[in-house]
Amino acid sequence: MNLFELVGERLALQSKLETLNLDQETILDTLDGNSTELAEKVENYGYVIKNRMAFVDAMAVEIDRMMARREAELNRIDAIEKWLLASMIACNYTKMEGPAFTISVQNNPEKVEVVSEKDIPANYWRTPEPKPPVSVPDKKMILDAMKAGKEVDGCRITRTQRLVIK
């Protein structure tokens, strides 16, 4: 049986027991005695979740390894490009045309290199506009106020549930 069917059976049994006007302890004892297969199914789901989490963790390690490898390869490419550029400039070789691609030395756009900030005249300075502050609700303060019995318009306290596998 699958988990859906087992849960359906348990809920049907619980409903039937409650209609018999049995006390809560008797209902719980009967449900506990009838829940071996359900307990095994829940445990098996736990194993599946743990196994898949281990797989996700292994993926994260592999992603980190591949990102480091990618960064190393980008650094090698950068070093090769710099060496090729310096070599072509040294030999006054500005263009090489081949069947697959063309390699050429081109000038970049002009840019300003600041050598000494203290010597730059005041009229060449600007102050960037500050970013406007962003307002967000202080949810911790709201929760504390509501727990203390205060009503906060536009808010309500909710509680969700999560699955914990230890």
Q: What is the pLDDT of residues 28-68, one digit of tens each?
A: 878 777 777 888 888 888 999 999 999 999 999 999 999 99
Query: Residue 1: what pLDDT?
Result: 80
State the pLDDT at residue 7: 86
pLDDT above 80 for 70: yes
pTM of the model: 0.58
- Using the predicted structure, report yes or no on whether residue 116 has a pLDDT greater than 90: yes
- pLDDT at residue 14 above 90? no
Q: What is the pLDDT of residue 44?
A: 87
Q: Is 67 helix (H, G, I), strand (E, B) or coil?
A: helix
22 or 69, which is more confident? 69
CA distances from 53 to 50, 56, 111, 166 (A): 5, 5, 50, 12
Those residues whose C-beta lies under 8 Å from the C-beta of residue 45, and which sit 6 or more positions away, are: 3
Question: Mean pLDDT score of the chain, rounded to an integer?
Answer: 91
Give percent of the chain with pLDDT exceeding 90: 67
DSSP per residue, 10-36? HHHHHHHHHHTT--HHHHHHHHHHT-H
